[in-house]
Amino acid sequence: MPGSATLEAEVTHVSKHGFWLLLGGEELSVPFSEFPWFKKATIEQLSEVQRPTPNHLYWPQLDVDLAVESIRNPGAFPLMSKAAA
């Protein structure tokens, strides 16, 4: 029985300003200023990213879901979080 197809997502670099994701042939910057819930995450938590569909990313250890388009164009998406401020 063949396994289910998965799409690749990989964290390629982490700095004090953010991290970079490789999605297929595209590399995207994820700045902590735009995505603050990642700022205190460990490298292990950041690196465990899943891409269940071409436009959906999920970090299970952080319980964070993002649309790929929100990383490409963060200004078009207001910050939404259930976490206390």
pLDDT band at 76 (very low <50, low <70, confident <90, very high): confident
Q: Which of 13, 83, 7 is nearest to 43 (CA)?
A: 13
Burial class from Cβ neighbours inside 10 Å (0-12, 13-18, 19+) for residue 81 reads: exposed
What are 37-69's pLDDT values in tens digits? 999 999 999 999 999 999 999 999 999 999 999
What pLDDT is recorded for position 77? 81
pLDDT band at 74 (very low <50, low <70, confident <90, very high): confident
Q: Report the distance separating Cα 19 and Cα 28, nearest Å.
A: 8
- The tokens for 44 are 């292990």
Distance (Å) of CA 62 to CA 23, 36, 46: 19, 12, 8
Give the CATH number of domain 10-76; options: 3.30.2020, 3.30.420, 3.30.1490, 1.10.3470.
Answer: 3.30.2020
